[in-house]
Structure 1
Amino acid sequence: MTRLLRGLHHAGKWVGAHPLVRRGRQLELMHRATGFATMTLVTLAPLLIVVAAADPLRRGGFAAWLADGMGLSGRSARVITRIITPPRAVVDATSVWGGVALGIFGVALGGGVQNGYERVWDLPPGPWHRVWRQATWLVVLTAYLYQEEQTREAVGGLPRMAMFLATGLVFFWWSQYFLLGGQVRGRRLLPGAVATAVGLMGLRGFSWLVFQPLIVDNAVSYGAVGTVLVIESWLIGVGFVVFGGALFGRWLSEDHPHKTEQG
């Protein structure tokens, strides 16, 4: 048994697992994922509620966006719909200045993602005037989420999965390259984009298996608060995949795993 454990230990060193884990600790991956989830719920969700409510096609509003992202259907999707503010009421109650304020708050999420990518690649923080990149990223993120939800009924099964992976790969490759200001070559960012897209697909399956029944149970036991806690847990998983995928991609892009900490 001792020999087996020693062999596994040396195998982990050989494949570079230790540097990868060490980098994850230095990045404070779980702490950063929790911050991502909180910021998304506080700054991005209100903006997306208004954007989804203004959708001329009117296909369920933000609740449909969220349910589709989590891979939910049936009763669990209806539970989420009940706790989301009715779309029409949101549009009527939101002024122009209110919408601008929501957009400004939403840009903070782009700043958090940019900072996370900079930490992954050991880059200095970008200057304040790069906020236009964060605002542009927020607009593209909204468009990305919108098209994902709109294709839900038009495409299904394996073609939908392939489209989910393809659009996710393109978006997260572009996100890294754009938010980092082209400081890292695009080919080095590709493995991280692939890892992120695949990770989100896996999280979607996990959500369907675990979170879907959990939402129904929590709605009965704890009401809306229980449902929000499940959503927050899912968002933590999203944050972990976004930053963890980029970190894993950097590790893969290095010539030798033990050089992970080098630029």
Structure 2
Amino acid sequence: MSAYVDPDGPPLAGVLERRVAAVVEHLPPWAKRPVEWFLSRWIGRTLLRVAGACMRVEIFDRSMTIAAQFFTSILPLLIVAVTFVGAGSDQLADVVGATGDSAELIDEAVRGSSSTGFGAVGVLLVLVSATSLSRALTRAFAVVWLVDRPRMSVRSSWRWFAVVVVLVLAVVVMQGLTQRTGVLPPRFLWPAALSLATDVAVATFVPWVLLAGRIAGRWLVPGAVAFALLMMVIRPAADVWLPWALDASAARYGPIGMAFTYLAWLYTVAFVFIGTAVIGQVVVSDRGRAGAWLRGRRGLTPQA
């Protein structure tokens, strides 16, 4: 068996490793040696384990589930917040990234709502339904970290609400603060630093609180940093593409086109969110020195 195949790893990851080993065995000698050398090193071993972990997590299906839950959970809460605060549709359009025709559709939706129309019971129902996103994230992170899901109870329900509130605040507050800090010199530095810090904090807090502290916070930091760094690249591109795509979809297909376009953006974010969590789990559970240092004294079974 090749040195990079882990017989004690997760089943799907082991299947992938054995398939790769079988392919390598049939390579010509001039190609086999450098491939084996690469796969036996940390970077090759990590890439192979990340691919296997993504198969185990079923990352494409889970990302779509989380994106859909975010769309049906967080966006209604944003509309409720804008309605009660009376901030107007402009703020919601800025958060969503809508302009032109898409911003007009949002304005019509917000103007058609009212605080009396929602009521306390309506707001409570929206908040309770939003916890479905927390439950979907709990299932995803439990699979990523190979731990049992915490038992559901009335006592632990505060974790679901805490995640929903944190995600809403992260979206709204970060949008407002980046606009205000963008006028400070150097103009690109402060919004980028704020976004980086917010993304790291959210990506660390969400799995930690949902898994009831079963995974140490320091184990979650590598994945959170990877998420923040990738979002620093993706978010500026989305700032250019998303308003244009929403406007074009709204003009051609109306609200449903706008919904599908925004769902595609949420799918990208969810994919990065779960994918970087997988990367973090793989790096922390590695048997090398970096993995041992990241794990610290608390036990986490290495899988590489």
What TM-score, normalized by structure 2, do the two folds share? 0.75
How many residue pairs get aligned? The number is 255
Read off the aligned partner of 2:100 and give its amino acid letter. R
Aligned to 1:53: 83
2:229 is the alignment partner of 1:193: no
Q: Quote the Cα distance in structure 1 between the aligned partners of 2:40 and 2:59.
A: 21
- The partner residue of 1:215 within 234, 243, 246 is 246
Q: Quote the Cα distance in structure 1 between the aligned partners of 2:61 and 2:207.
A: 20
Aligned to 1:132: 158
CA drift at 1:42: 1.6
2:254 is the alignment partner of 1:232: no
CA RMSD of aligned residues (A): 2.7
2:219, 2:284 within 8 Å by CA — same for their partners in 1? Answer: yes
Aligned to 1:32: 62
- The partner residue of 2:126 within 84, 90, 102 is 102
2:249, 2:257 within 8 Å by CA — same for their partners in 1? Answer: yes
Q: Quote the Cα distance in structure 2 between the aligned partners of 1:47 and 1:88.
A: 15
2:35 is the alignment partner of 1:11: no
Q: Quote the Cα distance in structure 1 between the aligned partners of 2:54 and 2:302.
A: 11
Aligned to 1:154: 180
Read off the aligned partner of 1:128 and give its amino acid letter. M
Read off the aligned partner of 1:142 and give its amino acid letter. V
2:108 is the alignment partner of 1:82: no
- Identity of paired residues, percent? 22
Q: Quote the Cα distance in structure 2 between the aligned partners of 1:260 and 1:248.
A: 16
Gaps of 5+ in 1: 68-75
2:178, 2:194 within 8 Å by CA — same for their partners in 1? Answer: no
Q: Quote the Cα distance in structure 2 between the aligned partners of 1:188 and 1:21.
A: 20
Q: Write out the 4+ residue segments of structure 1 that deviate beyond 6 Å after TM superposition.
A: 257-261
Aligned to 2:71: 41
Aligned to 2:135: 111
Residues 18-70 of structure 1, C-alpha deviations (whole Å, 9 max, x = no match): 11101101101010010011111122211221012223555724222211xxx
1:173, 1:193 within 8 Å by CA — same for their partners in 2? Answer: yes
1:251, 1:260 within 8 Å by CA — same for their partners in 2? Answer: no
**Structure 1 residues 208 and 10: CA distance shift in structure 2, 3 A:** farther
Aligned to 2:274: 243
1:188, 1:253 within 8 Å by CA — same for their partners in 2? Answer: yes
1:203, 1:237 within 8 Å by CA — same for their partners in 2? Answer: no
**Structure 1 residues 153 and 59: CA distance shift in structure 2, 3 A:** farther
CA drift at 1:141: 1.9
CA drift at 1:8: 5.0
Read off the aligned partner of 1:240 and give its amino acid letter. F
2:170 is the alignment partner of 1:144: yes
More helix by share: 1
1:53, 1:62 within 8 Å by CA — same for their partners in 2? Answer: no
Structure number with greater Rg is: 2
Aligned to 1:70: none
Q: Quote the Cα distance in structure 1 between the aligned partners of 2:170 and 2:243.
A: 23
CA drift at 1:177: 1.6
CA drift at 1:203: 2.3
Segment of structure 1 superposing worse, 253-262 or 178-187: 253-262
